[in-house]
């Protein structure tokens, strides 16, 4: 890797090899999703405990304080909506020049393996990697499966992650699953675990965070307490039992 690309990636992935990435890009296909109706209000209290933020350029420009020193992983794909015919019909929506203009640390693009538009998303992802190499910009591959959640098993996700790495991803965002160590071993670049669907309780989310080292934060009823606890799991290696106690303690300090 060139120095610039290494430097950008090092801002996202901390020296312990881990990161707490807060993804708030859901509005690009879901619109004003619950608890992101006002992105500024949701983001502000969580920033001190976040290693990296993953927004769209519209939210970044209008809802994130430019004075904050927070690495940005910019959503660079879109063109689909939740009410459209096929969620996998995505294209590149942000130029690399605009990403550099926004001083982001990486750009993110979804690849939909096994979908109708698989070929389109893989080719466009590869083009984005080429552009990123010209500017020293890391590209995050998001291994999306859309509505077909049943595909989230180790065999399928190993295929997705390895394919993303083979096409030049600097790192990959994927889902947690049983036998996740098989996914990790088959992917030669760093993995970030996606939050996935909202779970029934915060404890359920913490349990998966303990298992996978990451989970949902901003849709929690206690988002600041949740992100503090997830951060302790990720960077301090606390146990699941201690995580539950830590969450209760932080909730009591609201």
Report helix, strand or coil for 92: strand
Q: What are phi and psi of 172, to 5 degrees?
A: -130, 135
Q: ∠ CA 14-211-252 to the nearest 5 degrees?
A: 80
Of 199, 198, 165, give the one whose Cα is nearest residue 183.
Answer: 165
- Count Cα atoms within 13 angstroms, Cβ side, for 44: 7
220 with 49: CB under 8 angstroms?
no
Q: What span, in angstroms and rounded, lies between the C-alpha atoms of 14 and 11?
A: 7
Task: Output the six-digit token pair for 111.
Answer: 């690849």
E strand intervals along 123-202: 139-143, 171-174, 191-193
118 with 125: CB under 8 angstroms?
no
245 catalytic per annotation: no
Choose, from 173, 198, 228, 242, the residue flagged as catalytic: 173
67 with 98: CB under 8 angstroms?
no
Strand order in the sheet with 191-193: 73-75, 106-111, 139-143, 171-174, 191-193
Q: What span, in angstroms and rounded, lies between the C-alpha atoms of 216 and 208?
A: 10
Q: What span, in angstroms and rounded, lies between the C-alpha atoms of 51 and 124?
A: 28
Catalytic sites, residue numbers: 173
């Amino acid at each position: 890797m060139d120095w610039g690309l290494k430097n950008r990636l090092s801002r996202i992935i901390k020296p312990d090899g881990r990161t707490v990435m807060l993804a708030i890009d859901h509005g690009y296909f879901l619109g004003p999703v619950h608890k992101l109706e006002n992105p500024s209000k949701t983001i502000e209290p969580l920033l001190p405990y976040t290693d990296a933020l993953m927004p769209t350029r519209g939210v970044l420009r209008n809802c994130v304080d430019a004075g904050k020193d927070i690495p940005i992983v910019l959503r660079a794909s879109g063109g689909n909506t939740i009410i459209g015919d096929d969620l996998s019909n995505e294209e590149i929506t942000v130029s690399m020049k605009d990403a550099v203009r926004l001083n982001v640390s990486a750009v993110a693009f979804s690849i939909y393996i096994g979908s109708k538009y698989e070929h389109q998303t893989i080719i466009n992802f590869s083009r984005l990697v080429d552009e990123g190499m010209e500017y020293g910009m890391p590209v995050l591959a998001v291994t999306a499966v859309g509505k077909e959640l049943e595909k989230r098993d180790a065999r399928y996700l190993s295929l997705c992650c390895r394919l993303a790495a083979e096409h030049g991803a600097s790192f990959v965002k994927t889902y947690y699953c049983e036998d996740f160590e098989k996914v990790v071993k088959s992917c030669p670049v760093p993995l970030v675990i996606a939050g996935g669907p909202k779970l029934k309780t915060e404890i359920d989310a913490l349990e998966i965070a303990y298992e996978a080292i990451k989970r949902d934060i901003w849709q929690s009823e206690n988002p600041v307490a949740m992100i503090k606890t997830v951060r302790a799991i990720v960077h301090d290696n606390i146990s699941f039992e201690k995580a539950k106690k830590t969450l209760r303690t932080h909730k009591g300090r609201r």
